[in-house]
């Protein structure tokens, strides 16, 4: 039994070191996805406004305000997330953007919905555990 416990500890002790690159990879991937979306909105602002007016049913906000907030959020928050600065706050902000996007798109394809779920889970990991040791938060000692 003791050898089994030692084997278990050795295997999962090694796996515990994967949290650092896993959180880093999750941050970079989600940041890239949202930043690219923000650039797309910015590159064709007229289409962005039309989409927010007729396609996206953003609750509470008028379409112009929603378009500006989404675009700013998708350009600023991913940069903070990627470098790991104020990671939890950036991840919460992007989680909200992601959540509103899912709520706003009435006819979202199942594959696209699944991607939103994956992004949400990656953001939740960074909200719960923080950015890890490969981040500006770690070096600045920000919790």
Burial class (CB in 10 A: 0-12, 13-18, 19+), 22: middle
- Total structural domains within the chain: 1
Please report, in tens digits, the pLDDT of each residue of the chain (143 residues total): 888 888 888 888 877 788 889 999 999 999 999 999 999 999 999 999 999 998 887 888 899 999 999 999 999 999 999 999 999 999 999 999 999 989 888 788 999 999 999 999 999 999 999 998 899 999 998 87
Residue ranges making up the domain that contains 42:
19-140
Q: Could you tell me if residue 110 is inside a domain?
A: yes
Q: Could you tell me if residue 34 is inside a domain?
A: yes
Q: Could you tell me if residue 13 is inside a domain?
A: no
Q: Could you tell me if residue 5 is inside a domain?
A: no
Q: Could you tell me if residue 79 is inside a domain?
A: yes
Model's pTM, two decimal places?
0.87
């Amino acid at each position: 039994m003791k050898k089994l416990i030692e084997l278990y500890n050795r295997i999962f002790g090694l796996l515990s070191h994967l949290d650092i690159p896993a959180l880093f990879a999750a941050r970079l991937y989600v940041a890239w996805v949202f930043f690219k979306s923000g650039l797309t909105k910015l590159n064709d602002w007229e289409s962005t406004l039309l989409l927010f007016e007729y396609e996206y049913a953003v609750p509470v906000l008028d379409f112009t305000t929603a378009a500006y907030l989404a675009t700013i959020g998708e350009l600023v928050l991913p940069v903070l997330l990627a470098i790991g600065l104020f990671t939890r706050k950036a991840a919460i902000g992007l989680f909200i953007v992601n959540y509103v996007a899912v709520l706003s798109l009435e006819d979202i394809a199942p594959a696209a919905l699944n991607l939103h779920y994956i992004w949400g889970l990656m953001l939740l990991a960074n909200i719960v555990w923080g950015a890890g040791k490969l981040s500006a938060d770690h070096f600045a000692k920000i919790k």
